[in-house]
A = this chain, B = another copy of it.
Amino acid sequence: MIITPEIIGYVAATLTTASFLPQAILTIKTKDTESLSLSMYSLFTAGVFFWLLYGVYISDKAIIFANSITLVLAASILFFKIYNVLFKNG
């Protein structure tokens, strides 16, 4: 088996996305965001958006793949966090 850069990119994408999944699932399920940091998730979501944009610019499938999934997850968490801050004090 030849290990191409593409395979390494997808291994990287799978690992970092998988590491983020448990938090995303927990937050989407419980909608509890009290112990999450608004500034951290704002920076992270914006960063993932720019990584996705970067992937599109340089036409890199692994980067587009990883950051599309992570953006949906991170944006969902951020949405719940902002909603809770605005309407439920946390």
Residues of A bordering B, CB below 8 Å: 5, 8-9, 11-20, 22-23, 37, 39-41, 43-44, 46-51, 53-54, 57-58, 60, 62
Contact = CB atoms under 8 A, between A and B. Distances in A.
Contacts of A8: 50, 53-54, 57
B57 A43 contact: no
A8 to B, nearest CB: 5
7 contacts: A5-B57, A9-B54, A15-B44, A16-B43, A16-B47, A19-B43, A22-B37
B11 A50 contact: yes
Which 3 residue pairs across A and B have the least CB separation, nearest first?
Answer: A15-B47, A16-B47, A12-B50
